[in-house]
Structure 1
Amino acid sequence: MTCPFPTNDYLNDGGLRASAYRTAKQGRRATPAGRRHEKPEGFGSGEHLASLARAMYVTWFLQRTGFGELPLAQFHAAEQYMETANRRGAETNAWYLDEDGYPYFERILTLHDRQLDAAPAPSLIEADEELMCFIRRTKPSPLPLPLRGKEQAVGL
């Protein structure tokens, strides 16, 4: 890893898994709480969206190392819905995802749950390190550029 990240807190595999499961649960709670029809005023703050973004990107990083197989377009679509929600939240303080975005996040979070059960602690640590490195950079996304043609369409 090119970006140093202190891993002292993660030396105990049980502590790492507990932390990862807490993060996943936050993402799970943020998803239904953010449905506009359930709470028309939005759902609080950007913290809910940040939990979803964290789960989405960690899922991508783990998938790249062999834990899961969702199409890249699935992640790009979710990222677009996230960006729309962040812009809207910053402008209006109404923090919610558009209804059409939920299937993308549900699939990503389902994979994330399976990854947390299957991935060994070093893989979880590496994915978290990659997330921290991404956050420190000015790059708008850790995802590779979208493929043209066959991966553009994501069937739901």
Structure 2
Amino acid sequence: MAQRIPLSRHTGAARARHAKAMLLPMPRQIADDLALRVHLSLDALRRGAGSKTDAQTLTQIMLLTGYLAEAGFGSMNHEEFCAADRTAAAVFDTGRENDTWQLDDTGFSLFSSIATNYDRQLHRAPLWAITEASERLDRFIAGRSEPTRKQA
């Protein structure tokens, strides 16, 4: 005989807990772990011991920080974003040509500011905003600009 699938009788309560959790910032330990990865990549690139993965990490947080700022959490002006974009492009160009993945002092200062802003956003922005920014980044990486609709 087939086993029955246990269904919760409290689906409304589960939805309410989920909705409430989306209004709160992410758990501190998770935010700290994400921020630590960014700071490790930043330090590796500052020391000239970075990798393509480190450069990708900084590029992703540059985009996430911008998306969260657009949503009203933190700040990043257009000039700072453009400067960071040019710096990241230069790191990728040099890395591909010489296999040296490194930030100069100006780039390090710029990305330090972005990483600090990202830290604050992770600790203060509600989970729904971080989730939306992450989904937007995923669409950007995949080459899509519009959200995909789920099909039944």
Could you tell me the TM-score, scaled by structure 2's length? 0.72
- Residue 28 of structure 1 deviates from its aligned partner by 0.8
Taking only the aligned residue pairs, the percentage that are identical comes to 31
Bigger share in helix:
2
Task: Establish whether residue 49 from structure 1 lines up as the match of residue 33 from structure 2.
Answer: no
Residues 1-156 of structure 1: pairs in structure 2 closer than 5 A: 17=27, 18-35=29-46, 38=47, 42-137=48-143
Cα deviations across residues 114-156 of structure 1 (Å, max 9, x unaligned)? Answer: 11111111111100000000001189xxxxxxxxxxxxxxxxx
Distance 1:121 1:43 in 2: 33
Aligned-pair CA distance for 1:20:
4.7
> Cα distance 1:75–1:98, how it changes in 2: closer, same or farther (>3 A)?
same
CA contact (8 A) 2:41 2:50 kept: no
**Structure 1 length as normaliser, TM-score?**
0.70
**In the superposition, relative to structure 1, how do residues 50 and 87 fare at CA in structure 2: closer, same or farther (>3 Å)?**
same
Question: How far did residue 86 of structure 1 move?
Answer: 0.5
Instruction: Verify the 8 A CA contact 1:30 1:49 in the aligned structure 2.
Output: yes
Partners of 2:112 and 2:130 in 1: CA distance: 20
Equivalents in 2 of 1:126, 1:95: separation in Å? 30
Instruction: Identify unmatched segments of 5+ residues in structure 2.
Output: 1-17, 146-152
Alignment root-mean-square deviation, CA: 2.2
Three-state SS of the structure 2 residue aligned to 1:114 is helix
Give the Å deviation of 1:54. 1.3
Amino acid at match of 1:34: L
- Report the Cα offset of residue 90 of structure 1: 0.8
Answer with 1 or 2: which has the greater Rg.
2
Tell me, which stretches of 5 or more residues in structure 1 are unaligned?
1-10, 140-156
Query: Partners of 2:33 and 2:138 in 1: how far apart?
Result: 17
